[in-house]
């Protein structure tokens, strides 16, 4: 690996040192340049009128209970319906849980699909994989995340990467499977840029975007020119794919570090205290605000992980017994945080005139068991769950599909993960008949044959 950056030091949020700032390949290839995006348009990979579309995918790690959030069953027995009551919303078609009051005020902006299910294992990382890629992990083939597909097909629109994950990639999920947040068979060059920092912290900065104090822009420019001279000498010997990827890595990393636009996009200090307070002064709320800033600056796809692990942390994983969350913990901690951050994001996008061009997809790996367990929680349940969509061409205030009276299985309009991903691709303007270069170079369809978007949303 070539290194022309000197021995600069930068601290990460976890206290580790990052040496050799901007080492070639350290950030990964961060997407195609603008000319490649224009070429994608010329090839018809993006539909007219969708050029400015972006997606913010909020992944509700841990899996919210459909029966306690978006699909209450007030007529069911007590052990099924749980402790919460449904409340009316600004949409006559939608009732949701009383633990999401801010959602109720903006229900005209989002729609709910209450009939999702998948046939994967009832373990977290199996659900993460299938719900973010549209396919189960099988035969050692890792399908790329929807953001990686969008980045590959459409490229970057600015110096910022096309695909970003906030605040960082998911941790382990208990099944020893890929988490679905990577470039998969498209290669590491299409992995997301992961922030690796908590934007709610007072000293928040992005170490990989900002050079250490001792490494000024002039020095970086000089080292870049030095590297170009060496590469000219090695031109005949570096024609491999790895060499080309290394070059792309360096150029993308340089663009990020040198770009005032990139610096500004990640600079939350440019937001007023009132705006930051409205989103919530917590990791999820500030990630939602940062996601808005990133799409505003041209990032095509941002995934926000509500939580990073289901172990020894509060999350939607409400088994009831420690170290997991209880239904009461969901009511008092998780739901208020999510309600505030999500509603602030939707309202902010709408007020700024950005919602029509920004799809906000609220997904999860599965649902929860219809019956409350003896510990006062609910367990894993891939057989039926709810997802939400707002903006990006989606008609708000609707309910698509239905579950049975127990919230256990779809009763109307069963919806598989591939349809959820196809809906995202459709909103972004991707051709659902297009293909990716799959394993072994074979064409690989971005969605399986016969899979279409959830048309009732549009």
> Which residues, other chains included, contact 227 with Cβ-Cβ below 8 Å and sequence gap of 6+?
2, 4, 24, 250
Task: Please tell me which residue, 425 or 24, carries the higher pLDDT value.
Answer: 425
Q: Please, where are the H alpha helices in 189-334?
A: 217-233, 241-258, 260-265, 273-279, 283-296, 327-329
Helix (H, G, I), strand (E, B) or coil at 317: coil
Q: Any idea what DSSP says for residue 94?
A: -
Query: Which helix or strand (DSSP H or E) is residue 361 part of?
Result: strand 358-363
Looking at the whole model, is its pTM more than 0.75?
yes
Q: What is the pLDDT of residue 50?
A: 62
160 vs 39: CA distance, rounded Å: 18
Summarize the confidence of residues 190-213 as an average pLDDT: 84
Give the residue among 89, 93, 92, 87 at the shortest CA–CA distance from 107: 89
Q: What is the pLDDT of residue 174?
A: 84
340 vs 336: CA distance, rounded Å: 6
| Both tokens assigned to 101 | 């009051």
Summarize the confidence of residues 318-322 as an average pLDDT: 93
Q: DSSP for 387-450, please give it.
A: EEEESTTPPSS-EE-EE-TTSSSEEES-B-HHHHHHHHHHHHTB-TT-EEE-GGG-EEESS-TT
Task: Please state the domain extents for the chain.
Answer: 1-30+215-265, 41-209+270-457
Q: What is the pLDDT of residue 346?
A: 98
**Residue 241: φ, ψ to 5°:** -60, -40
Q: What is the pLDDT of residue 234?
A: 56
pLDDT beyond 70 at 296 = yes
Q: What is the pLDDT of residue 48?
A: 62
146 vs 423: CA distance, rounded Å: 11
Task: Please tell me which residue, 16 or 422, carries the higher pLDDT value.
Answer: 422
Q: What is the pLDDT of residue 32?
A: 43
| Both tokens assigned to 208 | 């990989």
**The residue to which tokens 């049975």 are assigned:** 404
Q: What is the pLDDT of residue 259?
A: 81
Q: pLDDT band for 250, please (50, 70, 90 cuts).
A: low
402 vs 410: CA distance, rounded Å: 6
User: In this predicted model, what pLDDT tens digit does every residue of 399-456 receive, in sequence order?
Assistant: 999 999 999 999 999 999 999 999 999 999 999 999 999 999 899 999 999 999 999 9
pLDDT beyond 60 at 212 = no
Lowest mean pLDDT among 68-72, 94-98, 189-193, 323-327: 323-327
> Which residues, other chains included, contact 109 with Cβ-Cβ below 8 Å and sequence gap of 6+?
346, 350, 355, 390, 391, 396, 397
Task: Please tell me which residue, 437 or 248, carries the higher pLDDT value.
Answer: 437
**The residue to which tokens 């299938």 are assigned:** 130
Computed over every residue of the chain, the mean pLDDT equals: 86
Q: CATH homologous superfamily of domain 41-209+270-457?
A: Alkaline Phosphatase, subunit A (3.40.720.10)
Q: What is the pLDDT of residue 227?
A: 56
Residue % of the chain over a pLDDT of 70: 78
Summarize the confidence of residues 127-144 as an average pLDDT: 96
Q: pLDDT band for 15, please (50, 70, 90 cuts).
A: very low
Question: Are 120 and 127 contacting, i.e. CB atoms less than 8 angstroms apart?
Answer: yes
Q: Answer left, alpha or beta for residue 315, where phi above 0 means left and psi between -120 and 50 means alpha.
A: beta
């Amino acid at each position: 690996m070539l290194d022309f950056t000197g021995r600069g030091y930068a601290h990460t949020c976890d206290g580790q040192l990052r040496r050799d700032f901007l080492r070639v390949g350290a950030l990964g290839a961060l997407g195609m340049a603008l000319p490649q995006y224009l070429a994608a348009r010329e090839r018809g990979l993006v539909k007219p009128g969708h050029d400015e579309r972006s997606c913010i995918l909020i992944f509700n790690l841990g899996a919210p209970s459909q029966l306690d959030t978006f699909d209450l069953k007030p007529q069911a027995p007590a052990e099924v319906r749980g402790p919460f009551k449904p409340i009316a919303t600004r949409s006559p078609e939608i009732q949701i849980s009383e633990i999401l009051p801010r959602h109720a005020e903006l229900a005209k902006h989002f729609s709910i699909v209450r009939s999702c299910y998948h046939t994967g294992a009832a373990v977290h990382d199996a659900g993460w994989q299938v719900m973010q890629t549209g396919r189960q992990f099988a035969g050692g083939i890792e399908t790329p995340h929807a953001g990686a597909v969008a980045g590959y097909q459409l490229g970057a629109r600015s110096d910022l990467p096309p695909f970003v994950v906030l605040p960082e990639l998911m941790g382990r999920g208990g099944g020893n499977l890929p988490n679905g947040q990577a470039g998969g068979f498209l290669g590491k060059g299409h992995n997301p840029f992961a922030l690796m920092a908590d934007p709610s912290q007072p000293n928040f900065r992005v170490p990989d975007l900002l050079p250490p104090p001792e490494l000024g822009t002039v020095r970086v420019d000089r080292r870049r020119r030095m590297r170009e001279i060496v590469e000219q000498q090695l031109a005949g010997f570096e024609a491999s794919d790895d060499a080309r990827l290394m070059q792309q890595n360096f150029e993308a990393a340089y663009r990020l570090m040198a770009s005032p636009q990139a610096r500004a996009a990640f600079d939350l200090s440019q937001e007023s205290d009132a705006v930051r307070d409205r989103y919530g002064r917590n990791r999820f709320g500030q990630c939602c605000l940062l996601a808005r800033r990133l799409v505003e600056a041209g990032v095509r796809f941002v995934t926000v992980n509500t939580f990073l692990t289901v172990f020894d942390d509060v999350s939607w994983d409400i088994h009831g017994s420690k170290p997991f969350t209880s239904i009461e913990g969901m009511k008092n901690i998780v739901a208020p945080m999510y309600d505030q951050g999500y509603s602030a994001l939707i309202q902010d996008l709408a007020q700024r005139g950005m919602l029509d061009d920004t799809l906000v997809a609220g997904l999860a790996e599965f649902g929860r068991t219809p019956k409350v367990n003896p510990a006062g929680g609910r367990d894993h349940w891939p057989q039926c769950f709810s997802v939400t969509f707002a903006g990006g061409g989606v008609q708000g205030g609707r309910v698509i599909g239905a579950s049975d009276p127990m919230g256990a299985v779809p009763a109307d309009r069963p919806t598989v993960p591939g349809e959820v991903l196809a809906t995202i691709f459709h909103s972004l303007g991707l051709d659902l008949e297009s293909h990716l270069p799959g394993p072994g170079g074979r064409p690989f369809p971005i969605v399986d044959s016969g899979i279409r978007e959830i048309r009732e949303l549009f």
